[in-house]
Homo-oligomer: A and B are copies of this chain.
Amino acid sequence: MNGKLYAIGTGPGSSDLITVRAARLLGQLDLLYAPAGRRGGDSLALSIVREYLGEQVEVRERHFPMSTHDDEKEQVWDEVAEEMAQEVAAGRQVGFVTLGDAMLFSTWVFLLKRLQGRVQLEVIPGVTSFAAIAARAIFPLAMEQQSMAVVSCTAPEAELEQALRQHSCVVLMKVYGRFAKVRDLLDRLELLPHALLMAEASLPNEQCFRSLGDLGNEVALPYFSTIVVNRAWLSATSNSTTKEVL
């Protein structure tokens, strides 16, 4: 049997939000790579898929530094890609798990750049975090002629403002540490009634905030916090099965 590399999107966090295809594939792998957790903790991606792994699978966690030193990052990607290529060449079925979808804001793409054309590979898509947020908060994204933008709050404020002015729906990722700035921008654009913040959607610690104007600057937000804005929908009137903290 020829070796192959599979990039597997785990979905947003709950184990049963991975695809049936991913669940079946995880039972058949020889080897699974998972990005190691921050601060030496367990890999979230690994914890999502663990129940589906076959007994034969060897699991290798690899730490990918968030370092601002590009050289250090590049070296880690190079090493892991080389290791994967050798395992596939040896005929093994090799997986790599990545949170959400594999092709959207995923570290997988750094490996892809190094491996495309070198090994046989297949990508299994996953449910994105914003789809899970919309579902849990029962808060629609775009519909019909509307448009959606997905941006990172690390972008310059002018870019965030432009997206918020031009699109019906905007997903603001990586809110962590930038909440006050983003809240003030939403306030200035009169979009607070159309916004909600969700952290850890579909996970046990899921939190949903719908009155962002009432939140203090120093609110402690989990790392995976996202704001969704839909100017055609009022966030306060959406009902929800979500545990509301406000």
Contact = CB atoms under 8 A, between A and B. Distances in A.
Interface of A: 9, 11-12, 14-21, 23-24, 101-106, 109, 112, 116-117, 120-128, 131-132, 134-136, 138-152, 154-155, 159, 162-163, 166-167, 237-239, 241
B150 A154 contact: no
A159 B18 CA distance: 34
A175 to B, nearest CB: 15
B159 A135 contact: no
Most B Cβ at <10 Å: residue of A136, A139, A149, A237: A149
B148 A103 contact: no
Chain A to chain B: the 9 pairs with minimum beta-carbon distance, closest first? A103-B134, A123-B135, A125-B131, A16-B21, A125-B135, A147-B151, A16-B20, A104-B141, A101-B131
Contacts of A117: 237, 239
Contacts of A12: 125
Nearest to A121: B138
A19 B238 CA distance: 24
B116 A9 contact: no
A185 to B, nearest CB: 15
Given A19-B20, A127-B125, A239-B117, A145 B154 contact: yes
Contacts of A144: 105, 152
Nearest to A160: B147
